[in-house]
Amino acid sequence: MHAVGYRANLPVSDPDALLDLDLPDPVPGPHDLLVRVHAVSVNPADVQMRARSHPGHEPRVLGFDAAGVVAGIGAQVTRFQPGDEIYYAGSMHRSGSNAELHLVDEHIVGHKPRSLTMSQAAAMPLTTITAWEALFDHLRLDEASQGTLLVMGAPGGVGSMITQLARKRTGLTVIGTASRPESATWVRDMGAHTVVNHRLGLADQVLAAAPDGVGYVFSPYSAHNIEEYAKLLTPRGHIVAIDDVHNIMPLKMKSITWHWELMFTRPIYEPADDYQHRLLEAAAALIDAGTLRTTMTRQLGPLNAATLREAHRLVESGATIGKLVVTVAD
């Protein structure tokens, strides 16, 4: 099968940063689905892994998000049949989805939303799982929840889903951050009540919009914002972070709770847990009902090394809005 991977940590400008590979067709294990991939999306996690994680002695295939058709099943699979259209976000500990054929455990797969194309669906899984776990698993929010949520990086893939889910499935007031007119428009379209420019004094702007402070923060960019969070959060407030940060001591005075969210935790440590399967099925129902919308904003193709290098370059720029998708055939 054709796949795209890397052999060394190289800048995306290097032609060898991502390579076209010819690999053996994978064979499903007991709970695996063999997927014929139709589309993938590129996340910051893909970019970070290519740049920082050494592939070892063999080339490593990247890719998490995917949408495709089940081509084969393992002996103990119970949830899917060949021919089913599916979407999923995969696992950090397995070969990635940037390939014609891919193996994924049935416990972390959902049936593709019927109302979306393969490309539109491929934009959704990783960010939807991350946002869902942040809001409803870590923060224990529900439709009766009140207060204010600050969504940092609101134009991004996860920020877009946090904003949609918070508006549709909680009673929270949502403040999103954006620094450009086009990204601010997108954040409002996702449902944010208020948009603030984080480059012009985060705490001052947030407190102007929410004078009593905010109870919840979603943070993909924490390292330089801890002091600002300490100012704008209410006592005993909550932060859910998806990035790396080391010094959170300024939050101690207000007894702020810090949550780490990594959507790969369940696939790695609890492989038999079907929480993400159920989550993706519920999200598909919300999408098909018109409650949630795809966050795909750009589509590239075909799936080869040159296309994925361009996709990685765009994600690395930090200027993307929503999600970038690569189709297998252009």
Helix ranges (H only) for the chain are 44-52, 118-122, 125-132, 157-169, 181-190, 202-209, 226-232, 265-269, 275-288, 305-316
CA 222 to chain centroid, in Å, comes to 17
φ, ψ for residue 71, nearest 5 deg? -100, -20
Q: Per the CATH hierarchy, to which homologous superfamily does domain 127-260 belong?
A: NAD(P)-binding Rossmann-like Domain (3.40.50.720)
With a cut of 90, say whether residue 329 has pLDDT above it: no
pTM summary value:
0.96
Let me know if the fold of 2-124+271-327 is the same as that of 127-260.
no
Long-range contacts formed by 178-184: CB under 8 A, 24+ apart: 178/154, 180/319, 182/321, 183/154, 183/155, 183/321, 184/155
Q: 109-111 and 66-73 as β-strands: parallel, antiparallel, unpaired?
A: unpaired
**Token couple for 13:** 């400008």
With tokens 């932060």, the residue in question is 239
| 89, pLDDT greater than 90 | yes
Domain residue limits, the chain: 2-124+271-327, 127-260
User: Residue 259 CA to chain centroid, in angstroms?
Assistant: 17
Work out the average pLDDT over 170-185.
Answer: 97
| DSSP 3-state of 191 | coil
Give 91-119 pLDDT, tens digit per residue.
999 999 999 999 999 999 999 999 999 99
Q: What angle do CA 272, 278, 283 make, to 5 degrees?
A: 145
- CB-based contact 175:187 (threshold 8 Å): no
User: What CATH number belongs to 2-124+271-327?
Assistant: 3.90.180.10
Check: CB of residue 96 under 8 Å from CB of residue 271. no
pLDDT in tens, 3-34: 999 999 999 999 999 999 999 999 999 999 99
Q: How far apart are CA 34 and CA 13, in angstroms?
A: 33
